[in-house]
Amino acid sequence: MARSKTAFVCQSCGAVHSKWLGRCTACGEWNTITEEIVKSEQKVPAWGGPASGTGVKSLAMPIAEVMHKSEHRLPTGDAELDRVLGGGLVPGSLVLVGGEPGIGKSTLMLQLALHLPGVRVLYVSGEESPHQIRMRAERLRSVGEGCYILSETSVSAIFDEIRRVQPQLVIVDSIQTVYMEGLESAPGSVSQIRECAAEFMRYAKSEDVPVLLIGHITKEGLLAGPKVLEHMVDVVLNFEGDRHHFFRILRAQKNRFGSTSEIGIYEMTSAGLGAVSNPSDVLLSAERQSLSGNAVCMTLEGVRPLAVEVQALVSSAVYGTPQRSATGFDVRRLNMLLAVLEKRCGFRLGQKDVFLNIAGGIRVDDPALDAAVVASILSSNGDVALSPEVCLAAEVGLSGEVRPVSRIDTRIAEAERLGFKEVVVSRFCKIQEKLHRIRIVQVGRVDELYQKLF
């Protein structure tokens, strides 16, 4: 009997090594190399047609002679999901949806499968039985007639049902649970994930049927499996949020058919995930009271303006070493802003604890948040409350200057719509003041910001 050939494969990047190593020499990750059995015979594709590397060769042609096809999208019925995708699902696209366990990936995909009128959807689950999925559908208060449920992990069996049902949309939950019989490695390994995703990609491109794959993430917050998986798919969506908060954010990390700067905001309810069309109203407190340490920033996610509340707490360091903690904000940028306040403005914050929180459980990376962070820290340090009718939108530089941010007119218009009376921006912004009735305060340095606010 022939001896099975083995190889040592990194589960993070897919690199193959001749022997076991504690650290992968390709990606630098520790304890990710496992031994897998490699079969030498040619793999037969699960979907019909020749395997990759065989068949009729394509001929090169000038780009002007390539037939142009108008892009037809399939609306999902979910305004937030359509916003992130760029208008809907493109036929033949392969979409990867990742997120933490329990964040709502399966709920979002099941809602999509149940709420598509006139579309035949095949929902493949390798983690739940049909009875469990039916119970979850009843909790969502919807049982779609065009939704077919399949509890299967074998790729060949899944494609047999695809040939029988002829769906217009396929959802696989999850790519880590399905496997191909021709491979000896376990489900979830690098080779299984890569080959299974390649089969679904071959099916999607040949039949012009969109396929959505749900993927797990690692403890570092990255999509599990080889990095080549993210290169194979057309769209990579990341579903994020704190399980202890009601809000979830859907971001596009990669999108071949649209922008990656859009986000979708959902609210977790007893009836599933509900789209939040006006997030500023829910991210701000219902009654903005005059409390020290609170400031409101007009941030921007894609082309959508959001009003977020920044909360800061400054107190004397009890144990000698001051603490720096931030939730929803980069701690390194917080340390930079504290250094600017101490060096350029003379505020002695080196021996004080500073805690920062972005209300609502969301994470914001917009530089326009700098001014609100500085204002909230100074408000808490002096125990002086900011006016609840003031919001800020400006970046702070290392020399203490207040720098302009993009799309300032959109931010000011949103602040005016929410009922704010005053907005603080950089004096270097080019503002069309005739378009706004709100009072615009322009500052050039952090010390001017302090004088205007306090």
Single-letter amino acid code for the residue at 37: I
* Residue 36, H or E segment: strand 33-38
Name the nearest CA neighbour of 45 among 199, 186, 183, 164.
199
Query: Do residues 94 and 100 touch, judged by C-beta distance below 8 A?
Result: no
- Annotated binding-site residue numbers for ATP: 99-106
Backbone angles phi, psi at 237, to 5 degrees: -110, 140
- Annotated binding-site residue numbers: 99-106
Q: Which residue stretches of 255-369 are H helix?
A: 279-283, 331-344
Question: Collapsing DSSP states into helix, strand and coil, what is residue 432?
Answer: coil
Query: Do residues 304 and 275 touch, judged by C-beta distance below 8 A?
Result: no
Question: In whole angstroms, what is the distance from residue 399 CA to residue 329 CA?
Answer: 21
Dihedral sign, CA of 217, 218, 221, 224? negative
* Residue 428, H or E segment: none
Place of tokens 């929803």: 328
